[in-house]
Amino acid sequence: MRFVWLSVLLVCVHAKCKWQFGNSCYQLLTGTMTFDEALQACSAMGAGLVVPDSQNENQFIWQMIKNHLLHYGKVWIGCTDKHKEGQWMYADDEGKECKFLGWAPTEPTPWNSQEEDCTQMWDFYAGQWVDITCTPSAVASVICEYYSSLEVTCRQADADGRFA
């Protein structure tokens, strides 16, 4: 990524960042996991389970998934209402509410919502979300999200593009 600022080149590099949108970087994990396994795997990497904050970010994530062969068709989203029904919070930060909710039509399902506390993005709904049980039998693909403001390092180059 390159930024030109008053004829000075800044190059920002993120060691773990292959895909970036706004201030977030994403890491696709191989295989499928339960919701709790996904939370643990992302946490072990110093990241959180992906949570889109806007329709544009949701679409970016969905295109990333479609372009990089996650064939399973389901991806965990890090929003849950485990602690209070109908209040969708970040799974790894109970005090932070999910500000964007990309529900598919008829979701979240009110008739069995007591059992469906987790969220997935589904291929069937072109990247829109469904609420689903968090049981060990429910598995999906995993994307971890890093906030690049913590992970990005920048080096400044001179006007000729050389680094000191």
Give residue limits of the domains in the chain: 16-147
Percent helix / strand / coil, the chain, rounded to 5: 20, 40, 45
For 43: left if phi > 0, alpha if psi spans -120 to 50, otherwise beta; the answer is alpha
Mean pLDDT per block of 10 residues along the chain (164 residues) reads 33 58 89 94 93 95 79 88 90 87 90 78 92 91 80 44 46
Cα 24 to Cα 57: distance, rounded to the nearest angstrom:
10
Q: How many CB atoms lie within 10 A of CB 89?
A: 19
pLDDT for res 113: 56
CA distances from 97 to 51, 63, 92, 154 (A): 11, 25, 11, 31
pLDDT for res 43: 93
Q: How many CB atoms lie within 10 A of CB 19?
A: 16
Both tokens of 143, joined, read 């994307």
What's this model's pTM, rounded to 2 decimal places?
A: 0.77
CATH superfamily of this structure's domain 16-147:
Mannose-Binding Protein A, subunit A (3.10.100.10)
